[in-house]
Chains A and B, each alone.
Chain A
Amino acid sequence: MELFLMTLITGILVGGNYALVALGWVLIYKCSGVLNLAMGELTLIGAYVTLTFYQMGLPFVLAVVGTLLVGIVLGILTERIFLDKLIGEPILAVIMVTVGLSFFFKGLVEFIWSTDTKVFTPPVFSMEPIALGFVKVSPVYLWSFILAIVLLIIFVAFFKYTRWGLSMQATADDETAALSLGVSARFVYAAAWAIAFMSAGVGGALLGNINGVNISVGHLGLLVLPAVVLGGLNSVPGAIVGGIVIGVLQNLSGSYLDQYFPGGVKEIVPFAFMAVFLLFKPYGLWGWERIERV
């Protein structure tokens, strides 16, 4: 029982970080209908940027703030340089460009930071486990969960209550109408990319704290895809719930199934679950159901 609870809670805590990365997927999809396959690399870049700031002597929280700022700049640059010209082109073309971006970013990261695993030294969080009721969890998990949730709340509040966020929602819903009301589509896309970079970047920084920073942080970014699909590609609450569900599934399968299927069962289960789930709910939990009335 204790093992179960501990696995469950760790799963939820890790899931919070996934939710943050998932938010990046959802925002871009919601605003432009593009599945951004470079998401894993955005996570990776975030992890390395935070690490660099941290090793320059900044406190971790400031390093995260710095990552957010770098995220804004990179997001806007990416949109302006690579994607702006593609507004109005077929979605598939844009998705292929994001594949290209993912290779480009991966190469860039290896070029700048090389491929060795790096860890946050000195460790950001103490190793001493914290007791949550009768289960003990490592502080890394707890704090990154808290930070992830705080950022999620900020992003969601931005999306829901500010005029910029409102413009983004309007564009997502009906671009033509939004244009006719004075919303600039270019601005909205740039903002979506900036937020995606920020959320994925910080998600990457937090995940990097747990496992160390190397190319595989980028794979974690891709692991979030089932979370996004599960929640419904265009649902922000769906991304959060999906992230947590995937975190829990991953940890439970790691604890209970690994003895029967040794090796990477932890990595596979979320995808298997996604495939089965989609058979029954093809739009995810809260995705828009496209029903055409004839």
Chain B
Amino acid sequence: MSQAQALEGQDTLLELENVHMYFGKVAALAGVDLQVRKGEIHSIIGPNGAGKTVMMNCINGLYAPQKGSIRYKGETINPLKPHLRAQLGISRTFQKIELFGGMSVLDNIRLGRHINLKSGIFSGSFYLGKTKREEIAARKFIEEEIIDLLEIESIRDKTVHMLPYGLQKRVELGRALALEPELLLLDEPLAGLNLEEVEDMARFILDINEEERWKVTCILVEHDMGVVMDISSRVFVLNFGNRITDGSPEEVQSNPEVIKAYLGEEDLYATRR
């Protein structure tokens, strides 16, 4: 009931309907429904192997579900390749970091940006007016906004694979932001981070979601229940490819099925808090 009320007045940005994804005979997703409203942080939780990353990959286009539809801004995007979905404004980070290891931090972030510049190869080669303006705007955007937001000024020229894990995660977030996405898929952004880094990252996610400049809708796959319950607008619980529930953090926490299937012992909430 409360879900339906909350949905009113808000546009649905992304909608999964009856999505099935099989690997051989194993159903990784067995008819999943999900509505993500504009402006929210919608978390997906579930035990290991529940199909969370598979869901992300279906949304982003790396996997093509055998059945069911995925709609973005009301349009069905099932047939679109990942690169076209990226151009529509769906950006993501990866559970296992996928950065361009040999390039600098700045180059990694720039890549996310440059690929989407509009000027052609001809004006590009001669640095004509339009290209120049675009370049300057892009540089300003990257250097002043993204680097500033993520507080990575001091490492901007470092080679990525030399950086500690926590910073690499931050760079990956920066690169995803360079696309100026409307929908950001965050696949375990907090995994492997220390307490301080977790707090920073959670703050960045909130900034990206709430600040007027960004207002990015986020889908968050995460195991850190403390953070998930703190920052999510809604939480979707997945187990063995099926939805257990989808609701506000309070509802989810008090749902007996969730407690049974996933949270198990009560003190799991207490991790880190």
A residues touching B (Cβ–Cβ < 8 Å)?
162-164, 166-167, 169-170, 173-174, 176-185
Bound complex: CA of A229 vs CA of B223, how far in Å?
A: 45
Interface residues on B, range: 20 to 34
9 pairs, A vs B, C-beta closer than 8 Å: A162-B121, A163-B115, A174-B99, A176-B94, A179-B82, A180-B62, A181-B83, A181-B111, A182-B86
CB of B86 within 8 A of CB of A181, answer yes
Q: Name the CB-closest residue of B to A177.
A: B98
User: A-side binding surface: helix, strand, loop or mixed?
Assistant: helix
Interface flag for B204 (CB, 8 Å):
no
> Knowing that A162-B124, A179-B86, A181-B175 are A-B contacts, what are 18 other residue pairs whose CB atoms are under 8 Å apart, sorted by A's residue number?
A162-B121, A163-B115, A163-B124, A166-B111, A166-B115, A169-B100, A173-B102, A176-B62, A176-B98, A180-B86, A180-B92, A180-B176, A181-B111, A181-B115, A182-B83, A182-B87, A182-B116, A183-B83
Given A162-B125, A182-B86, A182-B87, A177:B115 Cβ within 8 A: no
Bound complex: CA of A221 vs CA of B242, how far in Å?
A: 56
Q: Name the CB-closest residue of B to A184.
A: B83
Bound complex: CA of A170 vs CA of B124, how far in Å?
A: 19
Q: Name the CB-closest residue of A to B86.
A: A182
Within the complex, what minimum Cβ distance (angstroms) separates A72 from chain B? 13
Bound complex: CA of A54 vs CA of B172, how far in Å?
A: 52
Within the complex, what minimum Cβ distance (angstroms) separates B255 from chain A? 33
Bound complex: CA of A185 vs CA of B82, how far in Å?
A: 10
Within the complex, what minimum Cβ distance (angstroms) separates A123 from chain B? 34
CB of A180 within 8 A of CB of B87, answer no
Interface flag for B78 (CB, 8 Å):
no
Within the complex, what minimum Cβ distance (angstroms) separates A233 from chain B? 15
Interface flag for B128 (CB, 8 Å):
no
Interface flag for B149 (CB, 8 Å):
no
CB of B81 within 8 A of CB of A174, answer no
User: Chain A residues with Cβ under 8 A from B111's Cβ?
Assistant: 166, 170, 181
CB of B92 within 8 A of CB of A173, answer no
B91-112 interface (Cβ within 8 A of A): 91-92, 94, 98-103, 111-112
Within the complex, what minimum Cβ distance (angstroms) separates B139 from chain A? 15
User: Chain A residues with Cβ under 8 A from B94's Cβ?
Assistant: 176-177, 180
Residue pairs across A and B with CB atoms within 8 Å: the count is 70
Bound complex: CA of A162 vs CA of B100, how far in Å?
A: 17
From A163, A174, A180, B100 is in contact (CB under 8 Å) with A174
User: Chain A residues with Cβ under 8 A from B179's Cβ?
Assistant: 181-182
Interface flag for B114 (CB, 8 Å):
yes
User: Chain A residues with Cβ under 8 A from B82's Cβ?
Assistant: 179-180
Interface flag for B117 (CB, 8 Å):
yes
User: Chain B residues with Cβ under 8 A from A163's Cβ?
Assistant: 114-115, 117, 121, 124
Within the complex, what minimum Cβ distance (angstroms) separates A283 from chain B? 14
User: Chain B residues with Cβ under 8 A from A178's Cβ?
Assistant: 83
Q: Name the CB-closest residue of B to A188.
A: B83
Bound complex: CA of A182 vs CA of B181, how far in Å?
A: 11
CB of A182 within 8 A of CB of B115, answer yes
In order of increasing CB-CB distance, the 7 nearest A-B pairs are A182-B86, A177-B98, A179-B82, A173-B100, A184-B83, A182-B87, A182-B83
Bound complex: CA of A185 vs CA of B100, how far in Å?
A: 16
Q: Name the CB-closest residue of B to A157.
A: B125
User: Chain A residues with Cβ under 8 A from B217's Cβ?
Assistant: none
Interface flag for B60 (CB, 8 Å):
yes
Bound complex: CA of A178 vs CA of B86, how far in Å?
A: 10
Bound complex: CA of A174 vs CA of B103, how far in Å?
A: 12
User: Chain B residues with Cβ under 8 A from A173's Cβ?
Assistant: 100-103
Q: Name the CB-closest residue of B to A175.
A: B98
Bound complex: CA of A81 vs CA of B102, how far in Å?
A: 33
User: Chain B residues with Cβ under 8 A from A185's Cβ?
Assistant: 83
Bound complex: CA of A178 vs CA of B111, how far in Å?
A: 9
Given A162-B121, A170-B111, A177:B83 Cβ within 8 A: no
CB of A166 within 8 A of CB of B92, answer no
Given A162-B121, A166-B114, A167-B115, A179:B62 Cβ within 8 A: yes
Bound complex: CA of A179 vs CA of B90, how far in Å?
A: 11
Within the complex, what minimum Cβ distance (angstroms) separates B104 from chain A? 13
Bound complex: CA of A177 vs CA of B61, how far in Å?
A: 12
Within the complex, what minimum Cβ distance (angstroms) separates B15 from chain A? 21
Give the interface centre of B98, B112, B116 by most chain A CB atoms within 10 Å: B98
Mark B4-22 against chain A: 1 for CB-CB distance below 8 A, else 0. 0000000000000000000
Bound complex: CA of A177 vs CA of B81, how far in Å?
A: 13
Give the interface centre of B62, B101, B115 by most chain A CB atoms within 10 Å: B115
User: Chain B residues with Cβ under 8 A from A162's Cβ?
Assistant: 121, 124-125
User: Chain A residues with Cβ under 8 A from B102's Cβ?
Assistant: 173
Given A166-B115, A177-B94, A184:B121 Cβ within 8 A: no
User: Chain A residues with Cβ under 8 A from B81's Cβ?
Assistant: 179, 184
Within the complex, what minimum Cβ distance (angstroms) separates A286 from chain B? 11
User: Chain B residues with Cβ under 8 A from A170's Cβ?
Assistant: 100, 111, 115
Give the interface centre of A166, A181, A182 by most chain B CB atoms within 10 Å: A181
